[in-house]
Amino acid sequence: MSRQLGPPPFCVVPGQAVQQSLRGRRAEVIALVEDAYRLHGQRQTVNPPSYFLRFPDRPDARIIALPASVGGGIGVDGIKWVSSFPGNLGLGLPRASALLLLNDPRTGYPFACLEGSIISAVRTAASAACAARRLTAPRGAPRRVGFFGTGLIARFVHEYLSELDWDVEEFGVFDRDGRYAASFAAQVLEPTGRPVRVYSRPEELVRGADLLVFATTAAAPHVVAPAWFDHNPVVLHISLRDLGTEVILRSVNVVDDVEHVLKADTSVHLAEQRTGTREFLHATLYDLLTGAFTAPPDRPVVFSPFGLGVLDLAVGAYVYQQAVAAGGAVPISGFFHELDRHRTAEA
């Protein structure tokens, strides 16, 4: 019997093509990520729990699988497979590496394998910018922006926050490794032309910022004094495990997805375990986008995004289209070879 339907052509999109596809398109990517959150809020996505592969002999390392499906106008299935090896920094390599597979929702066939770490960083940063825009609106644009943890994610978050056209008066940085803080200050922040202060005491950074970005690799809370937040900053708690339970409980808490973020010993998960309730969670990002919730300006606000696979797919599908159009996707001809159920394919 002749086949009615062939598999889509398969291609690989290397990191350089991913980067080129995203260059100069930050506003578009933020809009795309907002659309993906809207679809998620309208239940037009499937986003099962992430699967964590851990290693008894390498307790700080993990590889996470994030399968997902996005409906609506995006229409793609797939999976992100992302490694986190904090020891890589000592080898001169980024902590995270990833690939992203896109599947055709008609046939299930994978049609693209993309370098995933840039897409992952970009969707994380776009999500932070999307939340920051809504959370700062009632209190005015922040003048002092602080980065707690100064790795690759902090760099991308800075780039995407720059899209919001804030008139930042001063940047602050703190990292437990002063060399990383100094390098981040010199290479990422000083080119903005704004004053940059490198802090040696975390309390001073926290008290000195209207908007804080946490992007460390801390495994357990280390910022535990609620009084540090008495000036009611907006906190983008991207690394999820820095803040103590008392800080969480005294703040307004906004998350991306309740079920996802209350897992894996995040700070909000620890707060749930301590109190036995979820009442300290006030809203999701979808509630902010629809206007159903507005964060009060007279309390600290903490945004805790677990990071949804649907965002990787939305950005990945966009990158794929751009890369194919620009000739940056590498076709792998004949990748799927046995395409007749009964007849053996020719060698």
Ligand X SMILES: NC(=O)c1ccc[n+]([C@@H]2O[C@H](COP(=O)([O-])OP(=O)(O)OC[C@H]3O[C@@H](n4cnc5c(N)ncnc54)[C@H](O)[C@@H]3O)[C@@H](O)[C@H]2O)c1
- Chain positions 66 to 85 lying near ligand X, rule: CB under 6 A, are 84
Residue nearest to ligand X (CB): 151
CB 60 within 8 A of CB 87: yes
Cβ at position 133, least distance to ligand X in Å: 17
**Of the candidates 265, 263, 268, 264, which has an alpha carbon nearest to the alpha carbon of residue 246?**
268
**Of the candidates 112, 132, 155, which has an alpha carbon nearest to the alpha carbon of residue 318?**
112
Strands of 301-304's sheet, edge to edge? Answer: 196-198, 170-174, 144-148, 211-214, 234-237, 301-304, 252-255, 281-284
Is residue 86 a contact residue for ligand X (CB under 6 A)? yes
The first and second tokens of residue 10, run together, are 């398969």
Cβ at position 50, least distance to ligand X in Å: 10
- Chain positions 87 to 146 lying near ligand X, rule: CB under 6 A, are 89, 95-96, 120, 124
Cβ at position 183, least distance to ligand X in Å: 9
Cβ at position 149, least distance to ligand X in Å: 3
Is residue 305 a contact residue for ligand X (CB under 6 A)? yes
Is residue 12 a contact residue for ligand X (CB under 6 A)? no
Is residue 216 a contact residue for ligand X (CB under 6 A)? yes
Strand 330-331 vs strand 234-237: parallel, antiparallel, or unpaired?
unpaired
Is residue 238 a contact residue for ligand X (CB under 6 A)? yes
CA 8, CA 268: separation in Å to the nearest integer? 42
CA 117, CA 126: separation in Å to the nearest integer? 14
Sign of CA dihedral 151, 152, 156, 157: negative
Is residue 47 a contact residue for ligand X (CB under 6 A)? no
Contacts with ligand X by CB under 6 A: the residue count is 28
- Chain positions 166 to 185 lying near ligand X, rule: CB under 6 A, are 175-177, 180
Q: Which range of residues in 54-62, 64-72, 105-113, 147-155 is near ligand X by CB under 6 A?
A: 147-155
Interacting residue with ligand X among 78, 307, 309, 316 (CB under 6 A): 307
